[in-house]
Structure 1
Amino acid sequence: MAEASTGVQLVQVAALLGAGVVAVPLFRKLGLGSVLGYLAAGLAIGPFGFKLFAEPETVLHVAEFGVVIFLFIIGLEMRPAKLWNLRREIFGLGVAQVGLSGLLLTLAAIAFGVPAHIAFIVAMGFVLSSTAVIMQGLDERNELNTPAGQRAVSILLLEDLAIVPLLAIVAILASTMGTAVDGPPLWQTIALGLGAIVAVVVAGRYLLNPVFRFLARHGGREIMSAAALLVVVGAALIMTLGGLSMAMGAFLAGVLLSDSSFRHQLEADVEPFRGLLLGIFFVSVGMSLNLAVVLADWPIIVGGLALFMVVKAAAIYGVARLLKASNREAVERAAMFAQGGEFAFVLYAAALAAGVLDARSSAIATALVILSMALTPLTTLVVRRLMPPAPELSPDDAEGVDHASGLRERVLIIGFGRFAQVVSQPLLARDVDVSIIDYDVEMIQAAGNFGFKVYYGDGARLDVLRASGAAKAETILVCVDKAEVADRIVELVKAEFPLTKLFVRAFDRGHSMRLVQAGVEYQLRETFESALVFGHQVLIDLGFSQDEASETIEDVRRRDEERFTLQLAGGLAAGRGLMRGNAVTPQPAPYIKPRREGQALNEEAAEALEEEDAREKAGV
């Protein structure tokens, strides 16, 4: 029996993953987006498809964690100062859109004979747009950091906050209707919510950074990943215990960690879980669509869906235009937000449990939300196809656009030892936009004492490079303390970010040769130039003139370049010869000390330098 049960579970897991693997690439190829692919996959394997899942709600509750992680990552990108700058959009634009949309949807439902209390709950659930659908669409179109994208994020944040008073209203309605179950008084509910917020803020402000510093020193990579997930789960749990939204708790934790030195590492650790769980969430939403209800009440559902989407889109467009948005942005926002979202399921479930909604009304309302989520990628695609191409922005029109996103002077420094500390000084002196990552916790703390902002992260990991902005950087400076680590970083950057320029600290002649062969833009042996300057000063002290010393140093540099070029060519030839079965030995150019007028060649010095050539040939 146990083996049979395990086999059934494995079939379900395989179906859950396989449905997304098949459907998403197909829908993306058709230009319909990944969200619609996931929803279609869920419908195919759910109770009204191949019946591989009898209770999709169980999968939905687990997969909701994908939305939670998504909000955590958004919070990591939303520093407190940035969030404060968006306060007008959140509490101005957001409140206006939610308020007007809720009012018009409620009146529309009442006009068609729906009781007022049911109309209000169904309408307000539909007002709460899908954070997952909208954020996924913005992310796929690279619009998250645009001004319009930031305004969309602000509205979503306000809608997430709105679930709290809406749940309180459900409790009040249940009390007035006499259907309320025994529960804590309203003041206690409010106190619990405020206490949960304070707990998350205090933990994020005073506890998390010391804990991550300790784990970075004494834990391992898997412990850091577990700690990152624990932060998300813990914040969501605290908010849930306080009667608030899990996603809001994760978002708040992300905001509190957005200025932390561990931000990039946290994002890299939780990102894979976000993508997988968010996909499963959409699949489970597709599975949750009750086709029996749709077929039984299809005139109500089709008419209600058209009515709600049109009314909500009109309200959103009106608010956008009233608050000075362009016609194009207003239309695109209306298309994106004209649907219900995942928080509607929370509101409807609470209303059903409190007796405010009956089972049939809850099922119809849930079907409306799911169908609207499925239609959103299509409506957005149609609107974008029908809209004329966006005009290019003039400098005057581009006010408010983050010009740093062009990254003309963006530099990412990997490793912040003595070498990088010196390299960074001229960049910072010219106000070049510099990001720095290192995985030495003590170095990060020391750098913070001198005013440097260094993030914790292993630059030899591709996910950390992505989270640190390597894909957007113009130049990456590799200043790590180990040649093999530098080689690994160069390999990753060349493979994944081929347009990014690489400046690399080299350790010896052999390492320099490997870097040149790898195609870096610039490499420098860390002691070579400083040793030449040192030797120049020694010649001056021995009585040689400035010109003589400089001539000698330049000759040494030129000879070194010649030997390096010969050895590099010989190394390449050796590689080709070995592939043909022939060994090729490069011959370095002999060093001949330059003659000064009237001075004989110092034979002993020449022999010593030829011995040096032999050592350098061996890569010493």
Structure 2
Amino acid sequence: MKPMAVEATGAASDLVQVVALLAAGVVAVPLFKRIGLGSVLGYLVAGLAIGPFGLGLFSDAHAILHVAELGVVMFLFIIGLEMEPSRLWGMRREIFGLGLVQVGICIAALTLVGIAMGFAPAVAFVAGTGFVLTSTAIVMQLLEERGSLSKPKGRRIVAILLLEDLAIVPLLAAVTLLAPGGGESGAAERAVAIGIALGSVLALVAAGRWLLNPMFRLLAASKAREVMTAAALLVVLGAALAMQLGGLSMAMGAFLAGVLLSESSFRHQLEADVEPFRGILLGLFFLGVGMSLDLTVIGANWRLILGSVAAYMVVKSLVIYAVARALRASHSEAVERAALMAQGGEFAFVLYAAATGAGIIDGPTNAILTATVILSMALTPLMVIAFDRLGPKPAVSMDGVEIPENLVGSALIVGFGRFGQIVSQPLISRGCSVSIIDTNSGYIRVAEEFGFKVYYGDGTRLDILRAAGAATARAILVCVDDREAAKRIAELAKAEFPLVPVLARARDREHAIELIQAGVAFQLRETLESALAFGERALLTIGDSPEAATEVMAEVRRHDAERLDLETAGGIYAGRELIRGNTASAHELG
């Protein structure tokens, strides 16, 4: 019995830690957002509070940080889903132009800062290079909170971050060169490492082009939602593992997998499945960074650390600003980019660990440099707040901007069967931006053959509707064949997106009433208009005049509208009595 008691005590201790992590985030983040300090700083402070130098609930913060890096990985996967290959190719100048210039000049400038602070040249190079690698997690989170990810200035920052992720490979090779004896024996190893890295990238690209879409079609046909979620996680983590085994960053692997799936029909479903895990793990990453802040090291070396933080952040900010202005960015954008990217990042920990293993820096120096990076990460949200309050406010100018005429907005079509296909045609012919989701992989394949882009997704899920753009659509068109699903989608859409009109396909009169009560702006029984047109043609065929036929059809429509209004108001039985009393359409219950 004693071993069981010990096991139960250990399990309770683990549960206490899980509860503490969740409670810290739940309490700190809303509080910090409420007072205008942002969620990132809330997570960092919460991590410090429950870590080794706070309540002491955790002793190994680096273990949590290692697991929580998966949040960064999933974030890059979702960013990749938004980057179609053609769009990524269009960013090549920003990635390999702007990114290379900024990283190269920053490395040179921060190396000089390290030498001025008394470090040996090799140590100064490693210290400065690690600080150049900006925190992808913090910058991406701040860009998302500010709504800048889809803007040109946000895309330029993403391009620089991608180049920095790519730069980790040559920088680790440079650490090998700087190691004692590394120049003589490391050439063959570096060649092998580069070959393995290229092989990993090619293998991932091949899998993305020829394996992933067939796999997801097969899983979609099984109608097992949990399997689709598992497959989404498998793709993200598998790609990250492939890149890690190839010597590249896990985040780069996840980003590449996202890009390869960005044109897939299953894009919205993947994004919705991964998003909850991304959010939780990214928050855990920030908590881990807060826990990792070693107050003992800071207390013993506070002058050196504070001086390093100030020097590195100021010089890096000035270089970023100068590069941005030299490449024709506005003053406001250059200042904002400098504020967002002035800190060191999580890849610095990897570089410093490699340098310690290679004998370039010792353990205490590693601890000082790590504390410097973590402190800079903690200061970044404060710098962004200062920029928002004190920085230049960009002026809105309409010079040279033409206001389009006959503007047609965007529409989200849920369901692309025989009804949805016809509905989409006038919208597309008018140049409307249409997003289409369906759960039938057969419809999706046929639609692709005719040039339509249809995404796999279950419209009864709120996360899928959000991922498909329901919040920004000008109208949501519910064209599914399942009456219960149509009602559920209409209720969800009206509850979560009350300003977006919902138009719905109804199976029959009772279904139309349910949809009206759910709040749709317009509903239409799928057979009504075709049946009325058929009836009018029948009148003409048997000899009625066109004027008389038109008058009769107008009367039928009027009676139908009256009955529907009556039944919708609650008098369904009275409405049926009215139907029975009307011989012209006594049997029209559809």
TM-score band, normalised by shorter chain: over 0.9
Q: Deviations over 1:553-592 (max 9, x none)?
A: 1110111111211222234xx8xxxxxxxxxx53568479
- Once the two structures are TM-superposed, the CA of residue 512 in structure 1 deviates from its matched residue by 1.3
Q: Does 2:291 correspond to 1:316?
A: no
Matches of residues 197-212 of structure 1 in structure 2 within 5 Å?
Answer: 197-212=201-216
Matches of residues 391-540 of structure 1 in structure 2 within 5 Å?
Answer: 391-396=395-400, 409-540=409-540
Moved more, 559-568 or 412-421: 559-568
SS class of match (1:274): helix
1:353 to 340, 343, 357: 357
Q: Does 2:137 correspond to 1:132?
A: yes
- Once the two structures are TM-superposed, the CA of residue 218 in structure 1 deviates from its matched residue by 2.0
Question: How many angstroms apart in 2 are the aligned matches of 1:200 and 1:133?
Answer: 27
Q: Does 2:241 correspond to 1:237?
A: yes
Q: Which residue of 1 aligns with 2:48?
A: 43
Kindly provide the amino acid, as one letter, of the partner of residue 448 in structure 2: G
> Is the Cα–Cα contact under 8 Å of residues 19 and 45 in structure 1 kept in the other structure?
yes
Question: How many angstroms apart in 1 are the aligned matches of 2:463 and 2:579?
Answer: 47
SS class of match (1:434): strand
Question: How many angstroms apart in 2 are the aligned matches of 1:254 and 1:269?
Answer: 13
Question: How many angstroms apart in 1 are the aligned matches of 2:275 and 2:187?
Answer: 38
- Once the two structures are TM-superposed, the CA of residue 389 in structure 1 deviates from its matched residue by 3.1
- Once the two structures are TM-superposed, the CA of residue 396 in structure 1 deviates from its matched residue by 2.6
Q: Which residue of 1 aligns with 2:21?
A: 16
Q: Deviations over 1:313-344 (max 9, x none)?
A: 00000000000000000011100000001111
Kindly provide the amino acid, as one letter, of the partner of residue 563 in structure 2: R
Q: Deviations over 1:281-324 (max 9, x none)?
A: 00001111111100000000011110000000000000000000
> 1:183 and 1:214, CA in 2 relative to 1: closer, same or farther beyond 3 A?
farther
Q: Which residue of 2 aligns with 1:108?
A: 113
Q: Which residue of 2 aligns with 1:612?
A: 587
- Once the two structures are TM-superposed, the CA of residue 175 in structure 1 deviates from its matched residue by 4.7
Question: How many angstroms apart in 1 are the aligned matches of 2:450 and 2:552?
Answer: 39
Q: Which residue of 2 aligns with 1:603?
A: none
Structure number, greater radius of gyration:
1
1:586 to 574, 577, 585: 574
Percent pairwise identity: 58
> Is the Cα–Cα contact under 8 Å of residues 305 and 372 in structure 1 kept in the other structure?
yes
> 1:298 and 1:256, CA in 2 relative to 1: closer, same or farther beyond 3 A?
same
Kindly provide the amino acid, as one letter, of the partner of residue 190 in structure 2: L
Q: Which residue of 2 aligns with 1:144?
A: 149
> 1:304 and 1:523, CA in 2 relative to 1: closer, same or farther beyond 3 A?
same
Q: Does 2:165 correspond to 1:165?
A: no
- Once the two structures are TM-superposed, the CA of residue 176 in structure 1 deviates from its matched residue by 3.6
> Is the Cα–Cα contact under 8 Å of residues 566 and 589 in structure 1 kept in the other structure?
no
Kindly provide the amino acid, as one letter, of the partner of residue 58 in structure 2: F
- Once the two structures are TM-superposed, the CA of residue 102 in structure 1 deviates from its matched residue by 1.0
Question: How many angstroms apart in 2 are the aligned matches of 1:393 and 1:73?
Answer: 32
Question: How many angstroms apart in 2 are the aligned matches of 1:108 and 1:307?
Answer: 7
Kindly provide the amino acid, as one letter, of the partner of residue 532 in structure 1: L
1:30 to 30, 35, 45: 35
Question: How many angstroms apart in 2 are the aligned matches of 1:317 and 1:385?
Answer: 18
Q: Which residue of 2 aligns with 1:191?
A: 195
Question: How many angstroms apart in 1 are the aligned matches of 2:582 and 2:92?
Answer: 74
Moved more, 245-254 or 343-352: 343-352
Q: Which residue of 2 aligns with 1:258?
A: 262
> 1:222 and 1:446, CA in 2 relative to 1: closer, same or farther beyond 3 A?
same
Kindly provide the amino acid, as one letter, of the partner of residue 574 in structure 2: P
SS class of match (2:574): coil
Q: Which residue of 2 aligns with 1:270?
A: 274
- Once the two structures are TM-superposed, the CA of residue 472 in structure 1 deviates from its matched residue by 1.2
> 1:395 and 1:265, CA in 2 relative to 1: closer, same or farther beyond 3 A?
farther
Q: Deviations over 1:443-498 (max 9, x none)?
A: 11111111111100001101111111111111110000011101100111111111
SS class of match (1:477): strand
Question: How many angstroms apart in 2 are the aligned matches of 1:408 and 1:499?
Answer: 17
> Is the Cα–Cα contact under 8 Å of residues 24 and 47 in structure 2 kept in the other structure?
yes
Question: How many angstroms apart in 1 are the aligned matches of 2:202 and 2:366?
Answer: 34
SS class of match (1:340): coil
2:291 to 273, 287, 291: 287
Kindly provide the amino acid, as one letter, of the partner of residue 545 in structure 1: S
> 1:506 and 1:607, CA in 2 relative to 1: closer, same or farther beyond 3 A?
closer
Q: Does 2:340 correspond to 1:336?
A: yes
> Is the Cα–Cα contact under 8 Å of residues 491 and 519 in structure 2 kept in the other structure?
no
Kindly provide the amino acid, as one letter, of the partner of residue 463 in structure 1: D
Kindly provide the amino acid, as one letter, of the partner of residue 249 in structure 2: S
Aligned-residue RMSD, C-alpha: 1.9
Question: How many angstroms apart in 2 are the aligned matches of 1:222 and 1:509?
Answer: 35
Q: Which residue of 2 aligns with 1:544?
A: 544
Q: Deviations over 1:405-433 (max 9, x none)?
A: xx951111000010111111111111211
Kindly provide the amino acid, as one letter, of the partner of residue 396 in structure 2: E
Question: How many angstroms apart in 1 are the aligned matches of 2:137 and 2:409?
Answer: 33
Kindly provide the amino acid, as one letter, of the partner of residue 382 in structure 2: L
SS class of match (1:435): strand
Runs of 5+ consecutive residues of structure 2 not aligned to the other structure: 1-5
SS class of match (2:524): strand
Kindly provide the amino acid, as one letter, of the partner of residue 540 in structure 1: L
Question: How many angstroms apart in 2 are the aligned matches of 1:271 and 1:287?
Answer: 24
> Is the Cα–Cα contact under 8 Å of residues 179 and 354 in structure 1 kept in the other structure?
no
1:97 to 68, 87, 102: 102
Question: How many angstroms apart in 1 are the aligned matches of 2:485 and 2:506?
Answer: 11
Question: How many angstroms apart in 1 are the aligned matches of 2:347 and 2:494?
Answer: 43
> 1:334 and 1:442, CA in 2 relative to 1: closer, same or farther beyond 3 A?
same
Runs of 5+ consecutive residues of structure 1 not aligned to the other structure: 575-584, 593-605
SS class of match (2:325): helix
Question: How many angstroms apart in 2 are the aligned matches of 1:179 and 1:382?
Answer: 49
Question: How many angstroms apart in 1 are the aligned matches of 2:293 and 2:526?
Answer: 63
Question: How many angstroms apart in 1 are the aligned matches of 2:577 and 2:430?
Answer: 41
Q: Which residue of 1 aligns with 2:128?
A: 123
SS class of match (2:254): helix
